Structure 1
């Protein structure tokens, strides 16, 4: 083929460009996005303060059983390591949300993928606390005199019942928290994307 024929074929093809998003729609998206950022800051600082207070409590509390104090401090430290990992991911999302460019449909789709990824991080974060909850229950039953006397089948029922109740509570609080502070704003952004016919 000659060069002119190739140019003609190229010109005849419909090359779809990435659709631009109007400034008005970008502003519409920025409002829920800013609320998500604000809630992320609030969650970060509130979690940091709670962990700091818990650490202070267990470090300075005079516990009669040294072994119990070592177990508790080790458990809380492990929880902090896991939480630090997830907050690192959380911080990366926060940075991405702060510098996101919403002028094309591809960028908006990428933002949707980031939200999905963050939702998965939330789920895995709460699942990662399952062994911690079980260990905490074991410590409570082992070092609380009134509970230590429970033996046999009663122990199994009460222990499993408390573990399941605590894990279900953690699960439902996690779902409620995500929907309340992030889910409704993500839904607003998704609705704007639908109105723009980008998804």
Structure 2
């Protein structure tokens, strides 16, 4: 091969143009992406409505102990702050899902990375609720008359049992919720992206 042929071949190749993804594969990707966006909107609005009801409940219900009300309000505000941070990250993924160009493989690889990252955010979000759950149990033991009189072994055993039950429920519900609303679609999209390689 002479130098002119090599230059010609070199000039014909366009490294700035990424390989396009077939229309069929784009349609396959569109369904799980749309389901993810729909589920994200549902979760955001249901969480927002839940917090509105909690605020209304706290303002309407008359607590017998002023300290108890302050503790509960502090817990709810703290939970809202943690949730706001999570939803900020959640919104960034939602925005990227809406703007992703399905023609470019690198964009899909980036999306796959974002899914893994958001899965970790979701796990961290549920782990962040562990101290809130334990604080709620402590408030129950401190202010509910039947529990307030407990001491010694009965207190320790029932406290540990409540903690174990609440944390197990948090874990099971968190796993189920993530899998039902996001996990299976993340897996579908990841497999489709891996098939494109």
Q: TM over 0.5, yes or no?
A: yes
SS at match of 2:162: helix
2:55 is equivalent to residue 23 of structure 1: no
Indicate how the Cα distance of structure 1 residues 185 and 9 shifts in structure 2: closer, same or farther if over 3 A, else same. closer
The 5-angstrom pairing of residues 149-164 of structure 1 reads 149-164=149-164
SS at match of 1:165: helix
What is aligned with 1:57? 57
2:50 is equivalent to residue 46 of structure 1: no
What is aligned with 2:180? 180
Unaligned runs of at least 5 residues, structure 2: none
SS at match of 1:175: helix
Counterpart-to-counterpart distance in 2, 1:189 and 1:59: 44
Q: TM-score, normalised by structure 2?
A: 0.91
Deviation at 1:196, TM superposition (A): 2.1
What is aligned with 1:68? 68
Counterpart-to-counterpart distance in 2, 1:188 and 1:67: 49
Unaligned runs of at least 5 residues, structure 1: none
Counterpart-to-counterpart distance in 1, 2:126 and 2:162: 17
Counterpart-to-counterpart distance in 2, 1:58 and 1:37: 32
Task: Indicate conservation of the 8 Å contact 1:19/1:105, yes or no.
Answer: yes
Answer with 120-129 or 149-158: which moved more: 149-158
Deviation at 1:8, TM superposition (A): 8.1
Counterpart-to-counterpart distance in 1, 2:194 and 2:128: 34
Answer with 49-58 or 37-46: which moved more: 49-58
Task: Indicate conservation of the 8 Å contact 1:59/1:73, yes or no.
Answer: no
Aligned length: 195
SS at match of 2:92: helix
Q: TM-score, normalised by structure 1?
A: 0.90
